[in-house]
Amino acid sequence: MNKDCYVDPIQKTATREERESVKQILLTVRGMGYSNCAIRVHNSLAALKGVINAHVEFTTETAEVEFNPHIVAIPTLIDAVAEAGRDGRHAYSAALLIE
């Protein structure tokens, strides 16, 4: 693992508004090679308004996401995964696995 790939996980406390309506989905995530990749994807998802929690596992290539569907839509979650890899060194993609 390249030392430049290290990233600290962000901690998020969901707001009351975000927790008003909760839905959970499972995404399949491609392109992760190390645990830091999973943290990078987690941070991108957790930074979205409406996301309550995101658990990303690079060994199973999955992301369990709890979110408020009235605030953030599934396509936005999928876009956030791709955005996490747009640094010129990483390339991630996601698709809905279980809704």
Taking only the tens place, the pLDDT of each residue in 45-83 is: 999 999 999 999 999 999 999 999 999 999 999 999 999
DSSP 73: -
pTM value > 0.75? yes
Q: Which helix (H) or strand (E) holds 66?
A: strand 62-67
The architecture in CATH of the region 3-98 reads 2-Layer Sandwich (3.30)
Domain ranges (residues) in the chain: 3-98
**Cα gap 22→33, rounded to integer Å:** 30
